[in-house]
Structure formats: C-alpha cells, structure tokens
Structure 1
Amino acid sequence: MSAPAAPTTTRTYSYLGPAGTFTEAALAQVPEAVGQNWRSVNNVGEALDDVVSGRSDAAMIAIENSVEGGVSVAQDALANIPGIQIIGEYLVSVNFVLVARPGTRIEDVRVINAHPVAYAQCHLWLDATLPNHEHIPASSNVAAASTLFEGSLADAAVAPPNITKHYDVELLAENLGDNPNAVTRFVLVSRTVVVSEPTGSDKTSLIVELPEDEAGSLLSLLEQFSTRGVNLSLIQSRPIGDALGRYRFVIDADGHIRDERVADALLGVKRFSPSVIFLGSYPRADKAVITHKTRYSNEVFADARDWLRGIVSGETASSD
C-alpha cells in the first residue's frame, strides 16, 4: 500500500487589484503563483504589509516604468519597511483602450475617467481624437472603468486592454498609448530569504544613503561600482525626508551578490555609506546575459586575494 500524498500548502500572493490590472498580468507570469490564492489589495503599502505580517507569502508591485521612470511610492516603501526582499522581476507591456457604457459612441465622449499616469501616457492620442475632452482622475486603471457603472460623470474611461474580460463595457478605441514601447517593470517581494544561486543573468538592487551632502559624494558612491566593472541599470534619488538636501539612492546593479565583483562593490558601498539596504539579487526579466571584462572575473578577484594572503603569510614574494 502506497503512502498517502503529502498535503500541499496553498500560497497567497498580494497584488494591486481589482482583477484586470497590469499588476495582475505581472503576477500571472509567476509559474509558482498559478492556481494559488491571489489577494487583491488597494495600494503598495497594504501589499508589503501583507508580506511582513505573514498574510501573504509574496506581493507583486510596480517599481519602474520606461516612460514615467521609477515608482516613487514603491521605492519609498521598500526603503522604510524592513525584512523584505525582491525575489524576481517581470515586465508587462503597457497600452490602453478607451471604453464606455454599452451604447456609447466615441463622438459622444466629453468626459474621461483615467488614472493620472495612464492619462499622461495617452494624452497626445486623446488631445488629437477628443480635443475638447475633460479628465476626471481615477484611483486605478481598473477603477476608471468600474466607476462608469457607479454614477460617474464620465462618458468613457482609459483602461487596460483586458478590461473587457471583467466588465460589460463598449470598446471605443484601442492602442491609445503615445509610446508603443512602454513597459512597466514589476518585482515580486517576499520576506527575507537565503539569496538564490546566480544564473549569469541577474540584477542586484540596493538603497543607499550618502554619508554627507558635499561635493563628490555621489561620485564616490558610483566609483564603488565603476572600479569593479559593475554596470548600473538604474540610479534614482529619493528624498530621505528629514532635511532638505538629504537623499537616498535606489540602485540596480548588473550581476549577483555572489559574483566577486558585485560582492566587492557592495563591501565598498557599506564602508562608504551610513545606511545600505540590500533589496535582493534575482534573475533579470529580459534574460540578458551580464558581460564584463576579463579583469573583473571571479577568478581574477580570487587570485588577487590569494596573492595578498601569500604576501601577508610570507608564502610568496611581494613582487609576484
């Protein structure tokens, strides 16, 4: 008689809801999340609090947009909520449709519901197509459409393309986005875990404070990476909030903390900065292989350490 199957544990994932958001589309890319419990939340803070409190095993949040730049609310939350770590990133192409209550014609549209970020990414199309329109800000892309049925004064809404799967709306126009290459980067955040093994296509995220507000401080920070051959794909300043001129920097470095050059750079950053938050090393969404010059290989760093160890111990001559 075979042994009974081990019970499976259902995992919970928080995401910015309701159903139909770009965040939900990002979560759908996570193989481990398929068939698990998805918890819709109202904002980034609630999603991260779910993780910290244990209500959820992980949370999907937007961190960067190719048009609008870094998502400041997410970056600030990661700087102020301890005990969490990025374990993966996912890319979602961003475009929008114009929808309305059934029976509405596009020539009847005068007032439009739209999240401010979505509106900014579609305003050229809207200005050209509906030059006399008015804009009512919405709390989210999905809420822009859902409130059409809740007494909204708007005639139409700017919403994600899959909104028609969730609401009985009339599709008036597609491909509203002014930039067809717009992409939003999402990260999956969990409680602090043991760092995974490097894949050769990784990214390491940090939040770093400058020690002093003086000439050359930022240059000194950047040199910690450039002298080790570590490329930065993102560096963005955010105010610390305790005084004018005080900033922290959100940094994405190419490579993994287990790579010798990245580890050495992080040691330099730690010696330099009064506050360093390690947000995680994780596989890149684009799968791009990280390349570097030979002098920055793991073997060269290891050889240099052995050389120094030999000098200190007297095993080798200092001229080697």
Structure 2
Amino acid sequence: MKVAFLGPEGTFTEEAALAFLKALGKSDEAELVGYSTVTDAIEATTKGEADKAVVPIENSVEGSVNATLDALAFESDLVIEREMVMPIRHALIVSPKADLSKIRAIVSHPQATAQCRRYLAEHFPNVPIEAANSTAEAVARAAEDPTLAAVGTKLAAELYGAIFAEVNIEDYQDNKTRFVLLGREPAAPTGKDKTSLVCFIHKDQPGSLLSILQEFAFRYINLTKIQSRPTKKVLGEYYFFIDLEGHKDDDNVVAALKCLACKLRAVRVLGSYPMS
C-alpha cells in the first residue's frame, strides 16, 4: 500500500502518516511517498498513483488549510476515512556552521512561520521570511546554507544534519493540527463520528446560510465547523464547508442531507469517520 503525504521526509505530515498506519496496524505494509504540495499528494491518490493520502486540514492557530478544502471540494473524489489531531512543536533549525547574528532569512511553510509570528518578530525583527513548500524542505535548505534559519521539526533536523537553535518557539503552547487520511473506503459508523460536507447554494440571497443551518438545528445535529470558501467562478460566490457530529448513515443526518439536496444546487459528503 502506497501512502502519499506532504513531503519530503521530516514533515509533521509524515509523522501523522506514521501515526495513522500504526493505529491501523499497517506500519509494515505501507510505503510512504512524499509530494511537494498538499494538492500534489491528493491528485496522485485521486489518479491511483497512491492508495491513501495524509494531509493537514486545520490548525488551532491559523485555521483551515485552504488547499486541502478546495482540492476535496473541486478536484478529487476521495473521502475522508480517519482524522487525527496532533500537537505541533516548532524548532528554529540551522546549519552547524550558522551564526545567528548573520541569518539573512527565515524559511518555512507559511503556516509554520505564522504559528511562530511573535517569536520571530521578537528575535529576528528585520529578517525577511521566505516561503517553502514544507517545513522539511525548509530544514533541508537551512542545513546547506548557514545564512538561513528554518522553522521545522526535530525529526527533520536529525534527517538533514542540522541543529536546534531553539525549541518550542510556537506562539501558543496548545498548538495542534488536524490531519486526515484520504482514500476510497468509507468508514462504518462507530457511534462517535464526524461528517464533513460541502454545500453549494443556487444564488447569493438573504437567508441562504440560515436555510442550511435550520436543517441541522431542527434535528439537534451539532456543527463543529463551518467556513465559506470562494467557488473560483464568480467574485462573491461561495460554497460552505461544514463538519458535523454524526455519521452520514445516522437517521437524523440522512434526513438533513435529504432536505438540503432539495434546497441547494449541490451537497457533497466528503466522508464520515471516527471522531478523534
């Protein structure tokens, strides 16, 4: 079994992929394949180049990973099979030859540097920040260039021969990221499930969102997340991404989805899966 993830080796997503495989008892059966972006990992799995994909979908500090939401809504027929919430601990990582007073740039994935904004502003106030596709890619660059410092993982530092200048530099100590396992095998109900779906309205008009929310409120279905995202067609036109408590096969969820299908242009269930 091939599992695609946001690579290269040493990313938080690789750590999440390993944790998923361990929980499923498939650590010895799987081959992890790193891709340079979330979209690439999802696309490869959609095309059948990998059997599963592990990608980040939400962070407690910076919110949703929009690339994941949009890929699931528009570019893939994969379903969410599992979710996992993991604590995120960032480190400032440099080459063994680095001099912190001569660092010319901080490099990392934009989500990572955003989660360490206060630390970077205090300790490197005039140093520009450069974007990388992943924290591991950033660490690999810093390991080769002593004028760069990376925000990344301890695992990446060990893999690429870099060292820690400082650990636990995240602004919020309860920083967590939610990862999802994508595939083509819908999960059976467990009694403690979550369902993710996207809703497309016919047109923007007063009460459009209310008409969606009423179906869940009437049936006492708790929503754990709701977010609007552009449909990428017309300025000001949005779809709604929703997480709710319950499985798509639960009677109350079935009834809500049936009523929404009559009201909306489209409703698509992205998966029902055990709640982390």
TM-score category, normalised to shorter length: over 0.9
1:243 to 204, 217, 234: 234
Under a length normalisation based on structure 1, what TM-score does the superposition of the two structures give? 0.80
1:196-207 paired onto structure 2 within 5 Å: 196-207=187-198
Q: Distance in 1 between matches of 2:271 and 2:173?
A: 30
1:71-220 paired onto structure 2 within 5 Å: 71-150=65-144, 152=145, 154-191=147-184, 193=185, 195-220=186-211
Cα separation, partners in 2 of 1:164 and 1:153, compared to 1, 3 Å: closer
Q: Secondary structure at the match of 1:189?
A: strand
Q: Distance in 2 between matches of 1:261 and 1:178?
A: 40
Tell me the amino acid that sits aligned with residue 162 of structure 1: L
Q: Are residues 1:61 and 2:55 paired?
A: yes
Following superposition, the deviation at residue 116 of structure 1 comes to 2.0
Match of 1:263 in 2: 254
Q: Distance in 2 between matches of 1:136 and 1:239?
A: 26
Residues 62 and 186 of structure 1 are in contact (CA less than 8 Å); yes or no, is this contact kept in structure 2? yes
1:40 to 34, 37, 45: 34
Under a length normalisation based on structure 2, what TM-score does the superposition of the two structures give? 0.93
Per-residue CA deviation, residues 192-237 of structure 1 (Å, 9 max, x unaligned), is x3x4331121100101111221101110011111111001111111
Q: Secondary structure at the match of 1:265?
A: helix
Following superposition, the deviation at residue 139 of structure 1 comes to 2.4
Match of 2:13 in 1: 23
Residues 25 and 92 of structure 1 are in contact (CA less than 8 Å); yes or no, is this contact kept in structure 2? no
Q: Which of structures 1 and 2 has the larger relative contact order (alpha carbons within 8 angstroms, sep 6+)?
A: 2
Following superposition, the deviation at residue 149 of structure 1 comes to 4.3
Q: Secondary structure at the match of 1:124?
A: helix
Following superposition, the deviation at residue 81 of structure 1 comes to 2.4
Residues 100 and 169 of structure 1 are in contact (CA less than 8 Å); yes or no, is this contact kept in structure 2? yes
Tell me the amino acid that sits aligned with residue 184 of structure 1: T
Match of 1:5 in 2: none
Q: Distance in 2 between matches of 1:48 and 1:104?
A: 36
Q: Distance in 2 between matches of 1:80 and 1:110?
A: 39
Tell me the amino acid that sits aligned with residue 23 of structure 1: T
Alpha-carbon RMSD across the aligned residues, in angstroms, is 1.7
Following superposition, the deviation at residue 135 of structure 1 comes to 2.2
Match of 2:263 in 1: 272
Q: Calculate percent identity across the aligned residue pairs.
A: 36
Per-residue CA deviation, residues 171-195 of structure 1 (Å, 9 max, x unaligned), is 110010001111111111112x3x4
Match of 2:4 in 1: 14
Q: Are residues 1:284 and 2:275 paired?
A: yes
Tell me the amino acid that sits aligned with residue 71 of structure 1: V
Q: Distance in 1 between matches of 2:250 and 2:266?
A: 22
Residues 13 and 56 of structure 1 are in contact (CA less than 8 Å); yes or no, is this contact kept in structure 2? yes
Instruction: Pick the structure with more strand per residue.
Output: 2
Q: Distance in 2 between matches of 1:154 and 1:246?
A: 44
Cα separation, partners in 2 of 1:44 and 1:131, compared to 1, 3 Å: closer
Q: Distance in 1 between matches of 2:67 and 2:121?
A: 28
Larger Cα-atom Rg:
1
User: For this pair of structures, how many residues does the alignment match?
Assistant: 272
Residues 189 and 247 of structure 2 are in contact (CA less than 8 Å); yes or no, is this contact kept in structure 1? yes
Per-residue CA deviation, residues 55-104 of structure 1 (Å, 9 max, x unaligned), is 21110011111111111111111111243111000112112111111143
Cα separation, partners in 2 of 1:51 and 1:132, compared to 1, 3 Å: closer
Moved over 4 A (4+): none
Cα separation, partners in 2 of 1:148 and 1:253, compared to 1, 3 Å: same
Cα separation, partners in 2 of 1:114 and 1:52, compared to 1, 3 Å: closer
Q: Secondary structure at the match of 2:50?
A: coil
Following superposition, the deviation at residue 107 of structure 1 comes to 4.1
Structure 2: gaps spanning 5 or more residues: none
